[in-house]
Structure 1
Amino acid sequence: MLTVDFDQFPVGPGDRVLDMGCGAGRHAFEAYRRGADVVALDYSFDDVVAVGGMLAAMAAEGQAPEQARAGAVRGDAFGLPFADATFDRVIAAEILEHLPADEKAMAELVRVLRPGGLAAVTVPAWLPERVCWGLSSGYHSVEGGHVRIYRRDDLVGRLTAAGLEYVGGHQAHALHSPYWWLRCLVGVHDDDHPATKLYHRLLVWDMMKRPRLTRWTEQALNPVLGKSVVLYLRRPSVAAGPASEPGEAQAAAAAFAKLEESGRGVG
């Protein structure tokens, strides 16, 4: 299930993409399929191992163009292990709400994005998230849980202050909001409750079959009930001297060389 709309966030061969806080890797996999050079970064060692293994399997099975490269690394969003202006695209999907010092992560996102590059930032939308917090303290008051609820305009303002320009945005996954409200009502950590299992089956069916009725319904509900708010932003371009582009290319080459030397790079 993709939260970022790759029609609005174009990614293709030759693009250097960072999936910052990649989690299970869904956006990294899609960027790799589209031919980009992808670094999937997460603080969780288990997630890094799993995503790296999947990227390697995709390469072995020909699910990405041969010239594309991808790998997974463990890293901290507060101090990304990459040089300035390394990436053409940065994705930060459902990560900022977990970070106490989110302004540091925003600054790091901007630092590693090249001038003129694009960022996609997604967080839980205010209204669905507020309902979840109201229904269950267990939804957010756990280790690694959500530490804040963003209002869309406030988040845009903070990302703008960090050095990005707002390009556009939308909300996504309206059909998922009632699922999480239901989980909060019956027990957010109860994976075996019949009601949540039934709703989960519906969501899986919808993702696999994508029938017109549910697609139209979700599209109509997204502006109000969409579980995630998605923002697309650009780092403003600057006047480039003759040495700037080679410097960016060297930074990107160093990042992928580090992946390959560590044995986690593929492609």
Structure 2
Amino acid sequence: MLTVDFDRLGVEPGDRVLDMGCGAGRHAFELYRRGTDVVAFDQDADELAKVTEWFWAMKEAGEVPAGAEASTKEGDALQLPFADGEFDRIVAAEVLEHIPADIQAIAELVRVLRPGGTLAVSVPRWFPEAVNWALSEEYHSNEGGHIRIYTDAELITKVKNAGMQFDGKGYAHGLHAPYWWIKCAVGVNKDDHPLAKAYHRLLVWEIEKNPPALRAVGKVLDPMIGKSMVLYFTKPEAA
């Protein structure tokens, strides 16, 4: 289930794309299918090993076009091991809310993006996230968890101050916000709670089958309570 709209980001075959904080690789896999040269970057070596296996399996299964390339890289978001202007597009999905030095991380993203390149940043949306924090201390107090709740104005300002032009925003995963409200209300680790289990089955159905009825519901809920806010930026061309 993707958070970023790749068409809105301007992704094209042959683009060199960085998925910063790739996690399990959901965006990197779709970028690979679209024929890009994608680098899945994360600090979790175990996650990256699994992503590498999936890249190999996708190629063996013929799921990617000729010429597409995919690789993984382990490292620190505050010191990206890439050259200035190396990437045409960058995705940073659901990662900045985990990083204490977010301004430094943003500066690194801008540094490795070429002039004229585009950046998509997604973070938990303020209202759904504020409800989660109000319902559960455990939700956000674990090691490596969410350390801040962004407003759109705050994050837009931070990225613009790093030298980017703001192009617009969107929202995603409206069906997912109520699930996390339920989890926070009953206990974030109580996966066997009947209400949490029932709602989880609904989300699995959405992810695996993407039925028209749930797509329609999602289109209504995304702008209202979408769990993720996605911001789109362009790096100005050099003078």
TM category (shorter chain) comes to: over 0.9
Q: Counterparts of 1:192 and 1:78 in 2: how far apart (Å)? A: 38
Alignment length (residue pairs): 239
State the 1:215 CA deviation: 1.6
State the 1:168 CA deviation: 1.3
Q: Which residue of 2 aligns with 1:235?
A: 235
Structure 2 matches for 1:11-50, cutoff 5 A? 11-50=11-50
Q: Which residue of 1 aligns with 2:173?
A: 173
TM-score by length of 1: 0.87
Q: Which residue of 1 aligns with 2:208?
A: 208
Q: Counterparts of 1:199 and 1:76 in 2: how far apart (Å)? A: 35
Q: Residue 88 in 1 paired to residue 96 in 2?
A: no
State the 1:14 CA deviation: 1.3
State the 1:72 CA deviation: 0.9
3-state secondary structure, aligned to 1:134: helix
**Structure 1 outlier segments of 4+, above 3 Å:** none
State the 1:89 CA deviation: 0.4
3-state secondary structure, aligned to 1:167: strand
Task: Show CA shifts across 1:200-237 (max 9, x none).
Answer: 11011122332333222221122220000001110101
Q: Counterparts of 2:193 and 2:46 in 1: how far apart (Å)? A: 27
3-state secondary structure, aligned to 2:38: strand
Q: Which residue of 1 aligns with 2:193?
A: 193
Q: Which residue of 2 aligns with 1:117?
A: 117
3-state secondary structure, aligned to 2:19: strand
Is the radius of gyration larger for structure 1 or structure 2? Answer: 1
Identify which of structures 1 and 2 has the higher relative contact order when contacts are C-alpha pairs closer than 8 Å and 6+ apart: 1
Q: Is the 8 A contact 1:171 1:227 kept in 2?
A: yes
RMSD: 1.0
TM-score by length of 2: 0.97
3-state secondary structure, aligned to 1:148: coil
Task: Show CA shifts across 1:19-78 (max 9, x none).
Answer: 000001000000110000000000011111111111111112111112111011111100
Task: Show CA shifts across 1:170-211 (max 9, x none).
Answer: 111111000000000111022222221111110111223323
3-state secondary structure, aligned to 1:7: helix
